[in-house]
Amino acid sequence: MATLIVDIDCAGWTSITEAAGTAAAGPPASPPALAPAWQNVTSDEMSIKVEPRSEVFPSLTDIASVRRHFRSVIGRRGGAIVSCDLTAVGELTAVRCVSKCCAGKGPAMSFTASIYVPLAPWVVELSIRGSEQGMTGVREAMVVQELMQTAGPSERQQLANKIFPMEWKFERYEPGARGDLSFVISDDEKYDPRFPDHPLSSVRRLLRRVERTFRVMEAPAVTGAAPDAAEDRGKLGSMVAKVRDRFSQGTKGHGIGIAPPAEQLEIQLRQPEVKPMSAEELAGELGPQGAADALIIESLRRLGQPIPSLVERQKMCRERMAAELKKAVEQSQQRTREMNEIRTSTDRMCKELATGATYLWIPKLRSSGRWFTMPSAADGTVLPLFTDAASVDDFIEAKQLECEPVRLSIKDLFVSLSELRNQGITAVDFNRCPRCSDPRLVISLDGLRNELELLKGYAATVNTRRVLAERNYRLALRETDAAKRLNTLRYTVAHIDPGGPAIHLEIAKIAAASGDSGLVEQCRRTLAKYAPEHLSLLWLS
């Protein structure tokens, strides 16, 4: 019988036999023909399978061949490749493959993140699997909804013909083709932080953690008694003992490029040392639900309280995830409503305003009389434009610029574009926040074909600011804690609407109630300068 030694980090996982309630505390049982398998609080499953390697398994020197092979195998199973890359497992080269398939529960999808380690006679497969539960398709719907807001001509044409754009769904490594089940742009790893509880995010995150210490080696042939497992026991962090478990399994030939079974195999598991982690590190490693579960267990253990079974904790976890998902859906729907309102208001404003009577404010350097500009990501510089006096004054003051604000109509600004180009200015930036690094609406001068393009930028900025400020104002009014309400309002003034009269009136009201006369006076000066028609309301509040 051959023996493979596998180092695998099982922190946060419970063996399948223990999860089913068939094992007491301590190392899990090792029934015949059972591959090592575990489950965690989010109902993900991890397993190790080892089978004989055949000539079908591709050479790892050619990544294109590797991807074709795995795409073919996973496709025959009814699945699709999300990603397939080479990785290192100790000194060995391995394949990291993420795939998806239908979970068999309506539209629910199942995701698998695996590492395949080819040895001379074997292929060792470490897999982590997770499936959608409850409400499905939320990640895809939310991402696609956002993409539709910025769709290009090709995507818009396909959508008009009721075709899901090829740019958003395709075979990962053959962009010109796609099957019924293919890579969707929402599968991209960049969306994982936004959807930490999604099974795709979860399996990728958990695989990254396990992969760091995952090692595979063949045990040398030895005679005599096996080493005493107790000698190898150490601490896992501060709680979990190092284990050495054996699983005997007969190979069945169901893996990736597998030959008929040659002999029985014994898998010897070793738990590497794991350092204690902070709550933040724990969330990054295990995800929000896994971290919450670990902290709950640790708290109960310290209090000497009984720890709920994995099944009970999984139920609580599903309830938490369902609540988070509902909240995310509501927020997405709110953003969609806001985008539609901004678009409608912008179109209406463009029809109502005249470019000769609509003004922008621009900072001008006092020393040289030239416009103040900022470097752009590309060549050239960006000219900041502001839709009201309060915003440009706040920008100049916060940046401590030796500038004065100059008011210019959109019509006159458009006439001066050629002069701006001669000064090396390549784009304009609307209502840049002096306290944030991210730009707001940036328009290339080459894209300004007429005055209406500038007017659209102005109208979109004004309406976006209004919608965001109104949302924060409503949130603040619903906040019962005065300090939190004040923080929301002050954030809105600092980052969104420096001169908003309703916001300053509410800030003054809170300040007066707390006896902060300085803040009341500051609000009074702001209203007197930018919204004098609201000044009388200050005393009524």
Taking only the tens place, the pLDDT of each residue in 366-423 is 999 999 999 887 667 999 999 999 999 999 999 999 999 999 999 999 999 989 988 8
Complete DSSP assignment for 180-212: SS-EEGGGSGGGGGG-TTSHHHHHHHHHHHHHH
Give the mean pLDDT of 331-357. 93
Q: What's the mean pLDDT in 151-169?
A: 91
What are the distances in angstroms from CA 339 to CA 82, 145, 346?
30, 11, 10
Percentage of the chain modeled with pLDDT above 70: 87
What pLDDT does residue 152 have?
87
- Please provide residue 74's backbone torsions phi and psi, each rounded to the nearest 5 degrees: -70, -35
Are the C-beta atoms of residues 57 and 257 closer than 8 Å to each other? yes
List C-alpha distances in Å: 385 to 26, 237, 440: 67, 55, 11
3-state secondary structure of 433: coil
Do the strands 425-430 and 441-444 form a parallel or antiparallel pair, or are they unpaired? Answer: antiparallel
User: Which one-letter amino acid corresponds to residue 88?
Assistant: A
Domain ranges within the chain, ordered by starting residue:
2-295, 353-466
pLDDT digits (tens, 9 = 90+) for 216-258: 988 776 544 444 433 433 333 322 333 334 444 444 444 555 4
What's the pLDDT at 221? 62
Residue, of 497 and 54, whose pLDDT is higher: 497
168: three-class secondary structure by DSSP: coil
Mean per-residue pLDDT, 102-122:
89
- Stretch (H or E) spanning 500: none
pLDDT the model gives residue 235: 34
Beta strand extents in 90-156 (DSSP E only): 92-102, 109-118, 122-131
3-class secondary structure, 416 = coil
* β partners of residue 83: 98
Calculate the CA dihedral of residues 524, 528, 530, 535 and round it to 10 degrees: 80
The residue ranking higher by pLDDT, 497 or 446, is: 497
* Whether pLDDT at 26 is above 80: no
Whole-Å CA distances, 415 to 162, 183, 370: 42, 47, 17
Q: Which of 59-73, 475-489, 502-516, 527-541 has the lowest mean pLDDT?
A: 527-541
Q: How far is residue 305's CA from residue 178's CA, in Å, rounded to a whole number?
A: 53
**Which of 242, 190, 175 lies closest to 213 in space, CA to CA?**
242
String of DSSP letters for 243-304: -EEEEEE---S-SSSBPPP-S-EEEEEE--------HHHHHHHHHHHHHHHHHHHHHHHHHT
**CA distance readout (Å), 301 to 137, 306, 315, 332:** 37, 7, 20, 39
Task: Assess whether pLDDT exceeds 90 at residue 332.
Answer: no
- Tell me which of 533 and 34 has the higher pLDDT: 533
Q: What is the CATH number of domain 353-466?
A: 3.40.1350.90
Radius of gyration over every alpha carbon of the chain, rounded to an integer in angstroms: 30
- Residue 270's CB is within 10 A of a number of other CB atoms, namely 16
Q: Decide if pLDDT at 21 tops 60.
A: no
* C-alpha dist (Å) from residue 80 to 177, 184, 331, 500: 12, 10, 30, 51
The confidence score (pLDDT) of residue 380 equals 78
